[in-house]
Chains A and B, each alone.
Chain A
């Protein structure tokens, strides 16, 4: 059984003036231990899709299933890591923030929770800052706390919504490497949303390419084997070009492959 199955999902949300269709009949599936990246320009509904998987909104049609159970509300089996730094609780220390999910859900006994939290903080190399409050940390450190906090609960799947977008370029590169090395240790499943082709190829083992307005599936690509060591190879460049073409070149054949786009244009 697939870990996460998204079938024919259409997502709509309301603004005060409009009913916006963010994603239209999107299908994809994520396997255990996959690094699945949703890539697309802004307006392709990728963050909305992630929110739907998180249970924060319900699809108007289609189904989202985790291990065969339909998603109906937010839950700690799908821990989210947001782009914004304010996801941490300013009134708790680093340790308190990492402990909080375990305390709130009661998933682990008290003593075990503390040990686990300490270990998780160690893993993201923040032991020195255990007792610091979030406002004392840099952006990259806050993000590491958020990741530690999400992983310590051992969710079925980690949902990351452009987690590194608010970081400076050098920190972002370091965080990408860190995420990959964490993955090599723990082999968690992650669903990762980004708008950077390069980040998608570095982080992802599979990439779902979406087109905007509304978000529809354009392609699903295998990106396993692209990492920091292969960035200078020609294959990396070729793949990057291919994704670029998928994202930006208009679909030339009006009949295939996306009949949907054809009907919309009329």
Chain B
């Protein structure tokens, strides 16, 4: 129960005041770094590596429990074969062969995508052409074109490049075009305000503004290209003397060396991870993340 104070006319109004703000020096730096342990635990790389180690542990335990090297070799056994083949130079040679076709096909695919999207931006007919072609060919598995490629180009790198171009082109073109379309009107106008036109407008405004989508397209294109390549090599390493990674896996299967099959798959995965985690991450960190376009 509160004590009822005598009511004066001013009782409802509380007094005003003005004062100097408190001295905030007592709290130290306004912005201070987090403790080291907290930074390590929340570090992205640390978390990723931790996740990988956990997966490796599951693999090893399962393989030991199964105890059947023909079906599922252990991690240590796979690593033994992997290390041996790296040392003997077989695996690096296979990897290089694969990466060479990949680089040629990827570069050609991206360049073609650039041509198509530039046409699509420049004219309505170009847009129609690109969207029709994309609708037709994007769902078509690149590997389904391999027989045709073999008829046209024979065995060897040209056929591989052909299917890789097919797998890269549509993904990159589609993403780039949708990126161009989503550039804010204000940004477009502030570019045109300076009198920018044509290639300069595309290069100085549209491409950087659409970069998050373009990069996403490049990543999808890379993944498509890599899986298409390995699959294609499985098919026709048979008669090509210097095969790539796919051929390495195929050979190992034919000889029932399951650990070697695993080592080949391991190489495919590691290369995928490295390109994704090192190359694309570095590009992202220097571009879209730095620019605040993507978290």
Binding site for B on A (CB under 8 A): 54, 56, 73-76, 78-80, 82, 84, 86-87, 89-91, 100-101, 104-105, 133-136
Contacts and interface: CB of A to CB of B under 8 A. Distances in A.
B291 A90 contact: yes
A91 B211 contact: yes
28 contacts: A54-B193, A73-B195, A74-B189, A74-B194, A75-B195, A76-B193, A76-B194, A76-B195, A82-B189, A84-B186, A86-B184, A87-B186, A87-B187, A89-B205, A90-B291, A90-B292, A90-B293, A91-B209, A91-B293, A101-B194, A104-B194, A104-B200, A105-B194, A133-B290, A133-B291, A134-B292, A135-B292, A135-B293
A84 B194 contact: no
B86 interface: no
Contacts of A90: 209, 291-293
A90 B290 CA distance: 9
A101 B200 CA distance: 13
B178 interface: no
A104 B193 CA distance: 11
Interface string B74-96: 00000000000000000000000
Contacts of B292: 90, 133-136
Contacts of B287: 91
B189 A56 contact: yes
Given A89-B187, A91-B291, A74 B208 contact: no
A87 B194 contact: no
Contacts of A133: 290-292
B190 interface: yes
Nearest to B192: A74
Contact of A91 (B189, B194, B208): B208
Nearest to B204: A104
A86 B291 contact: no
B187 A86 contact: yes
Interface string B180-224: 000010110110111110001000110011010000000000000
B287 to A, nearest CB: 7
A16 B292 CA distance: 34
A86 B196 CA distance: 18
A78 B190 CA distance: 11
A147 B142 CA distance: 51
A176 B205 CA distance: 30
Contact of B190 (A80, A105, A134, A136): A80
A134 B184 CA distance: 15
B101 to A, nearest CB: 33
B184 A135 contact: no
A100 B209 CA distance: 14
Contacts of A78: 193
A8 B115 CA distance: 44
Contacts of A84: 184, 186
Contacts of B209: 89-91
A251 to B, nearest CB: 35
Which 9 A-B residue pairings sit nearest by Cβ, starting from the closest?
Answer: A135-B292, A91-B208, A84-B186, A90-B291, A86-B184, A87-B190, A91-B291, A74-B192, A87-B186
A216 to B, nearest CB: 26
Contacts of B293: 90-91, 135
A186 B196 CA distance: 27
